[in-house]
Structure 1
Amino acid sequence: MNTRKLVYLFVSTLLIGASSGAIIGILLDTETYFSGGFFNFFFGLLWMFGMSAAISLVAQMGYFAYLTLQRFALGVFKSVRLWNRIQVVLILFVLFDLIYLRYIAFATDEETLWGYVLMPVLLFLYCMAVAFQKQKETNKETFVPALFFMFVVTTIEWVPALTVDIVNDTKWLWIYLTPLLTANTWQLLTLHRLTRASQQNKG
């Protein structure tokens, strides 16, 4: 990996995360953006793009933090299988917490636990699909680490939105989550392609 490819990964991830967040933000609140004329739309779009760009930067920091954790864990446990089993346990723990702790924190008397199941399950299924794609493009040993990164690390990055009352609104939860998901998906599925291209060029 040379500097040019690292810069490409950084800039492309930033733009993809920011653009996806801006698009979702507008689609989920069209009345606010389209009811006040061109300048209202333009500055609203600019604000949403900037906020989503900041969120995508968090995703980039999370990705490189996970790459460091992966190296450290493999050095400590000396076994890919053991580390993968630990990651599976953590994935299940986070899935449970993402449903139950949000229910405990935000549910009203009229709401049931089932109302807090849909979003975590959809997120988990999406992360599974990305992990399968990663496995398809690399090897079977990458499935669990990919799923761990997509689900656990994305959830950790999502925590600020999950713990603030004002954003316990489905619209804002998706606005915060979308840049994280798109940025993390792009990073996960792009890095090995860039690395592979570098190795081929050396060969």
Structure 2
Amino acid sequence: MTIRNWIKFFFVASLIGGVVNGVFSLIIRWNFFQPYVAAGEWGEFLAALAWMVFLGITMSVIAQAGFFAYLTLHQVAVNIFRSLTLWNWVQLLLIVIALVDVIAFRFIPEADTAKDWIVYSVLILVLVGGSIATAFKKVKMTGKKHVLISALFFMIVITTLEWTIALMGRDAKIDEYVALLLFPLLAVNAFQLLMLPKYNEQSERDRKRLEERRKARKQQTNA
């Protein structure tokens, strides 16, 4: 990917993270914004919203780091196992382990009320449902069925690792952040998984045009 397209990719991913977090913060953390609205303190309201947008941008940066780490991991793993099929089985095992870890060691110990059970169940459904939808979209875009497991692994396991920042917290309001931060991570990771090939293709076209311009200038110089 060229530097220009990488900057575009980074900017769009950051924008998605910021907007998604800002929108969902108005829903999930409305109790945080409501006093400002009730008091007519619109400056404070906008400042609080800007903070949530900034938090989403921060999560998008984490997601982008996780994505490029996964790309490296995928290539290394395929070389180690010397078989994409074997690596896919390993990825399936890791998907199960990641989900069991979140449910058994984070959600179940923290679920004290029926509301907690509902919230945690919805979050798992969002994580798994969003990941499955993205993975099938990836298969449809590429026409390659074997990418399904890798896409699911990235969307579930890598997103869960990035989500650990919230999952490991013990603040009184941490459940709100656990719910909130999942959405920008999922959105940014889905964007990266689905759109990276288009940015790579654009980079290849840009290189070809640059090479053609260089050849044209060289011919004019020689003439």
What TM-score results when the alignment is normalised by the length of structure 2? Answer: 0.82
Q: 1:78 to 1:136 in 2, by over 3 A?
A: same
C-alpha contact 1:18 1:49 (8 A) present in aligned 2: yes
Q: Deviations over 1:7-58 (max 9, x none)?
A: 1111110111011101111222335322342111110111111111111111
Give runs of aligned pairs for residues 116-155 of structure 1, distance below 5 A: 116-138=120-142, 139-155=144-160
What amino acid is aligned across from residue 35 of structure 1 in structure 2? A
C-alpha contact 2:5 2:202 (8 A) present in aligned 1: no
Distance 2:149 2:184 in 1: 22
In the alignment, structure 1 segments of 5+ residues that lack a partner are: none
Partner residue in 2 for 1:43: 47
Q: 1:112 to 1:21 in 2, by over 3 A?
A: closer
Q: Deviations over 1:135-165 (max 9, x none)?
A: 1101212111111000000000001211212
Q: Secondary structure in 2 aligned to 1:140?
A: coil
What TM-score results when the alignment is normalised by the length of structure 1? Answer: 0.89
Q: 1:54 to 1:32 in 2, by over 3 A?
A: same
Q: 1:174 to 1:111 in 2, by over 3 A?
A: closer
Distance 1:148 1:30 in 2: 33
C-alpha contact 2:59 2:185 (8 A) present in aligned 1: yes
CA RMSD of aligned residues (A): 2.2
Q: Does 1:173 align with 2:178?
A: yes
Give the total of aligned pairs.
Answer: 201
Q: Does 1:21 align with 2:21?
A: yes
Distance 1:182 1:125 in 2: 12
What amino acid is aligned across from residue 121 of structure 1 in structure 2? L
Q: Does 1:52 align with 2:56?
A: yes
Deviation at 1:168, TM superposition (A): 4.3
Q: Secondary structure in 2 aligned to 1:164?
A: coil
Partner residue in 2 for 1:156: 161
Q: Radius of gyration: which is bigger?
A: 2
What amino acid is aligned across from residue 4 of structure 1 in structure 2? R
Distance 1:181 1:27 in 2: 17
Partner residue in 2 for 1:186: 191
